[in-house]
Amino acid sequence: MRNKLLFIAVVCIAISLSGCTSISSINLSWPWNSPTATPLPPSEMLGSVIINDTIPAQMILGQVYNVSITAYNTGYLPWSNANQIMLVPYNNTSNDASIFNNMTFTISPGTVVNSYSQYKWNITMVAPEWIGNYTITYGLEMGNNTYFGDTLINKVTVGDLNLTAVIVPQGATYYPPIGSMSMQKGAWQNVSITVKNQGRYDWSEADQVRLTAVDYEPNAATQFNQTVLFHIAPGEIIQPGDQATWKFMLHAPNQAGTYYLLYRMNQGNQWFGQTLNVTIKVY
């Protein structure tokens, strides 16, 4: 009897399956919802990503700039003033941050920057008075010299690189003013040229920095003075911001006419800075 009932059950199941909709088309009701993706927990205690900064790539000499640097906390330790989390200029020889107002920037007291949150430091930078290319490096630090996370490395150009040597304005430079002057044929005249160092580095004779008569375009300078190189005195150093003055004599040629004299700064074989153009009328 038991075997007969088992046989009948199997036959009924077979008949039922042969006439029903396929199992794959049945809409089953599950007792749970689909899982929602959640961020994985941070794998490190300290982590950061620099996500934004407003430091300009070009600055004006001596100009004050209000800028910001924003970082994202990718670690599991909250950032706060109590935890001594700071934005700092990295301490290395290639970092010029000290020239722009080298400071440590803390988090506002009472502010906590949790994981997956960001914080913006508003800082003030002052462009140096020396023309040149600079590299500024910042990062995050915990306590004393415990750097972590991303490093911000920005290249900044200050001033016009073509003006690393500036000819001081005529009224304060020449005796007499030689921007435009007149001389009698064959006459002698005492003059001086003063140049201001607006670069980042010292000038000296050891560095082969000299005032030079331009030789790459028409120049009548040697018709008035055979000297083409005006040297810095041995042992003298012209530091950034200082001036150098060369005094010499001009001897007018015996032919009347208008002459153009050109002088420029030179280091080795490299020209730099403004060109001084002098117009002399000989009568």
H/E element holding 18?
helix 2-19
All domains of the chain, ordered by start, with CATH? 48-159 (2.60.40.10), 163-282 (2.60.40.10)
Q: How far apart are CA 250 and CA 182, in angstroms?
A: 11
Sequential pLDDT tens for the chain (283 residues): 444 444 444 434 343 444 444 434 444 344 444 455 556 666 789 999 999 999 999 999 999 999 999 999 999 999 999 999 999 998 877 899 989 987 889 999 999 999 999 999 999 999 998 899 999 999 999 987 789 999 999 999 999 888 888 887 644 344 444 567 899 999 999 888 999 999 989 999 999 999 999 999 999 999 999 999 999 999 999 999 899 999 999 999 999 999 999 999 999 889 999 899 999 999 9
Yes or no: say if 257 and 283 are a contact pair by the CB < 8 Å rule: no
Give me the pLDDT at residue 231, please. Answer: 97
Side-chain-facing half-sphere of 110: CA atoms under 13 Å:
0
Give me the pLDDT at residue 105, please. Answer: 94
In 10 A of CB 189, how many CB atoms? 18
Helix (H, G, I), strand (E, B) or coil at 161: helix
Residue 164 phi, psi (nearest 5): -70, -20
Give me the pLDDT at residue 110, please. Answer: 94
* Cα separation of the two ends of the chain: 144
Q: What is the pTM of this model?
A: 0.68
Give me the pLDDT at residue 40, please. Answer: 62
Give me the pLDDT at residue 180, please. Answer: 78
Q: Which residue has the tokens 């706060």?
A: 80
Give me the pLDDT at residue 129, please. Answer: 87
Give me the pLDDT at residue 18, please. Answer: 43
Give me the pLDDT at residue 167, please. Answer: 80
